Structure 1
Amino acid sequence: MAQRMFVALVPPAPVRDDLATFLEPRSEHPWIDPEQWHITLAFMPAVPDFALDGLVEGLESVTGRRTPMRLQLRGGGAFPEAWAAKVLWMGLAGDVAGLGRLATNVRNGAQHAGAPPEGRAFRPHLTVSRLRRVQEQSRWVQVLDTYEGPQWVADEVTLFASHLGEGPHGRPRHETVATVSLT
């Protein structure tokens, strides 16, 4: 049997609270619950049960070679484009190069453990909205682009199992499998 899993950085509560406060007056938009906000480093669509222990061990090995990094949520955008958006996201500032190296190491470790990650290139972002259909979202991108959140030190990564449709409003439910510190 296989599970949908991902490795992510989770901004601390004060960072999520600041962004939630920024978005709150704009509640007419379908924002994702702040408890589910994360920065995906690697998404593995089908992790076989036999690979799970190796995946956690590989994650521990990778994070043992990486140090904490200072990050900040700043600006926003849309995937694939603002005029035909399916996803709205917040951008990142700070040690984005270090974040990219961490994502590469996590993805290589997952591959080595027998849990191949999805092949898309890493694009550092935090998803704040998933739209049910493609829509023109230029106005919302302009609003998100004005945001500059507090800095924080990212010092751990989390491995999650994703259970589709089991969360509130039919959204995914994310279950923490392991949390590993950056040293």
Structure 2
Amino acid sequence: MPRLFTALEIPADIAEGLSMLRGGLPGARWISPDFYHVTLRFIGDVDHTVARDAAAALDEIDHFSFDLTLAGVDQFGNHKPRAIFAAVKANEALTDLHAEHERAMKRIGLPPEGRNFRPHVTLARLRDVAPRQVAEYLALRGYFRSPSFPVSRFVLFSSRDSVGGGPYRVEAAYPLM
């Protein structure tokens, strides 16, 4: 059974800038820059028929290209930090594309995504890292901002169940107009 999700890829120059944020946080498991992405819709572990239906539904999405900017570094987990991420600056085109992915997956019978869409690039996974250490890390690096970059396609990724994300494989790519 493949584990699938849709995402936007991060250009190499932006990934290089993000990789400079690595380090300085004991206990963090840093994600390889090769695996940086912005998840649009987690599909999950599905059989090959559902995977084929998902790929076909995604092929029907007709959306325009747009620019994205990463603005700020933050954490998920509040008092029990579990991840460090680069936030995506609010973007209506991205929100619309996400909604199209959600509708496409509902049409093929998948349940709605249970979490609110908060676009980001995961930089590190945390386990047993003190909130104070995370706060110190964010105080030094939280103001990161990338140059804007064009988004001209989204991809259907497959992954295997692993600790820390990746490796990911592009199963299909869908150009944006």
Tell whether the 8 Å contact from 1:75 to 1:146 is kept in structure 2 after alignment: yes
User: Shift of residue 43 of structure 1?
Assistant: 0.5
Cα deviation 1:100-150 (Å, max 9, x = unaligned) = 111111121122224445321111111101113354111222233221112
Aligned-pair identity (%): 26
User: Shift of residue 175 of structure 1?
Assistant: 1.5
The 5 A counterparts of 1:110-129 are 110-116=105-111, 118-129=113-124
User: Shift of residue 24 of structure 1?
Assistant: 4.9
Tell whether the 8 Å contact from 2:22 to 2:123 is kept in structure 1 after alignment: no
Q: Secondary structure at the match of 1:148?
A: coil
Which of the pair is proportionally richer in strand? 1
Q: Secondary structure at the match of 2:105?
A: helix
Matched, 1:161 2:158: yes
Partner Cα distance (1:130, 1:170) in 2: 6
Normalization by structure 1: what TM-score? 0.85
Matched, 1:85 2:81: yes
Q: Letter of the 2:153 partner, please give it.
A: E
User: Shift of residue 159 of structure 1?
Assistant: 0.5
Normalization by structure 2: what TM-score? 0.87
Matched, 1:130 2:125: yes
Partner Cα distance (1:179, 1:133) in 2: 37
